[in-house]
Amino acid sequence: MPGTGEPPPHGWATMGRWRGPRILLAVLLLLCPLPAPACPHTCHCWAGDVDCNQRALHEVPRLLPTNASTLWLGYNLIAVLGARAFPSLPVLLRLSLTHNRLEKIHRQALLGLGALQELDLSDNYLSVLSSETFLPLTSLSILNLGYNRLEQLEAGVPPALPQLQAIFLNGNPWMCSCSILPLWRWLGHNREKVPERSSLQCMFPESLNTYPIMAFGNDSFQQCQTVPLSVQNYAAFLLIGPFSFLASIFCCTLIGSIVVVYQHLRKEPQTWKRPLSSGCH
């Protein structure tokens, strides 16, 4: 033991033998972290930027550098973003998918992109977007949806982005009916977040073609203010219908039976009043 002149126990000697290499290994890992996944052979990577523009890609490359901060996927042939379309990219800040053929984005397509701040989906074929798709993007501040095929925007899309500072919606064929009311309301309360709000125009119906959406007043949506029926209301109607039909059949049968019995009882007294034949002369 130390200070006694006795040799150290076997266990202590073993720990002393391994302590040096362990410390050296830890230092090496700190100085030389494990390499990030190699850059896709179809792309060009440098200093956190991954350039996959104009590579005729039909899907997002599966292996991307985990240190990527900007990912360019514009001018490709991507039509669908399926569930978990991207590998986990914890420091990705900017993602561009402009000028693709995007028609559908899965509700879980953007999982793993929690640090994303800018998303460009412009110049695609998107006609429907779910608010659930954007829930993972808690840091997103700029969203470009310009020049797609959106006729309406689900009411929950902007509120799903708590850090949203700017959204671009121009160039879409907006349907100016009651379905656009949620978007019109949101625009009215968030004008500063829509830089090109004055250029948002109706395309349908034809009578309102090129009419500015922001020019509508509250009276324009007066007919849309009625409270819609809930699912419970529709269920009640569906149940009441068959029961009413059965009840009417029962009532008709009951009334018919009463009428038959009544007529039968009216005939019975005539039989009772017939004179009895007497055997006496």
What are the residue boundaries of the structural domains of the chain, listed by start?
A: 36-224
Strand, helix or coil for residue 207: helix
For every one of its 281 residues, what pLDDT tens digit does the chain have, with 9 covering 90 and above? 555 555 555 544 444 454 555 565 454 545 554 455 689 999 999 999 999 999 999 999 989 999 999 999 999 999 999 999 999 999 999 999 999 999 999 999 999 999 999 999 999 999 999 999 999 999 999 999 999 999 999 989 999 999 999 999 999 999 999 989 999 999 999 999 999 988 999 999 999 999 999 999 988 888 886 555 455 554 554 556 565 657 667 676 778 777 667 677 766 655 545 554 444 44
pTM over 0.75: no
Amino acid at 63: L
| Calpha distance 254→248 (Å, rounded) | 10
Give me the CATH topology for the region 36-224. Answer: 3.80.10
| Calpha distance 188→211 (Å, rounded) | 16
- The vertex-219 CA angle with 153 and 177, nearest 5°, equals 35
| Calpha distance 232→63 (Å, rounded) | 48
Residue 38 CA to chain centroid, in angstroms? 32
| Calpha distance 56→39 (Å, rounded) | 17
User: How many angstroms separate the Cα of 164 from the Cα of each of 72, 171, 261?
Assistant: 21, 20, 78
